Amino acid sequence: MKFTIPGTLPSMNEIIEMSKKHHMQYSIMKKQYTQLVKLHAMKLPKIERADFVITWYCQDKRKDKDNITSGQKFIFDGLVEAGVLQNDGWKEIGNVAHVFEVDKENPRVQVKIIERERVV
């Protein structure tokens, strides 16, 4: 199963910049983007454990890949808030793979969820 988040998620540099301004700025950012993910994941069924393939469709190649992937924090927190995952710990999150593409016209994040057996 998969779902798509339109636009981009904050990069690590943007997260750091926000947190330096005031601790509440990051809190507001986190809540906003977690809710965005929740909105797009709400219709997914509950899963106990899964691997994830996250495809980042970026507008260009200006941001470093490790900077871009920091947005996965919002993805997993949004899946928990949507009730798709019970938690975002080791028992629920298996492997995570990242794929990077450029789409100037339609930046987005596509999350593919591959269910696995739950580990005890």
Determine the pLDDT at residue 19. 87
Q: What is the mean pLDDT of residues 20-44?
A: 93
Domain holding 78: CATH number? 3.30.1330.70
- 120 within a domain of the structure (yes/no): no
Neighbours of 54 (CB within 10 A): 21
Q: The pTM is what?
A: 0.92
Residue 21 has pLDDT above 90, yes or no: no
Predicted confidence at residue 119, as pLDDT, reads 61
User: Which residue's structure tokens are 């636009």?
Assistant: 7
Which H or E run contains 52?
A: strand 50-58
Pick the more confident residue, 118 or 21. Answer: 21
Question: What number is the average pLDDT over the span 1-29?
Answer: 92
Instruction: Report the pLDDT averaged over residues 64-78.
Output: 96
User: What does the pLDDT average to over 60-78?
Assistant: 96
Q: Side by side, which strands form the sheet with 50-58?
A: 2-6, 108-115, 50-58, 93-102
Nearest to 82 by CA among 25, 50, 40: 40
For residue 97, give its domain range. 2-115
Quick check: 72 and 54 in contact, CB under 8 A?
Answer: yes
Domain assignment present for residue 65? The answer is yes
Q: Give the pLDDT band of residue 23 (cuts 50, 70, 90).
A: confident
pLDDT of residue 117: 76
Q: Give the chain's domain count.
A: 1
H and E: helices and strands count for the chain: 4, 4
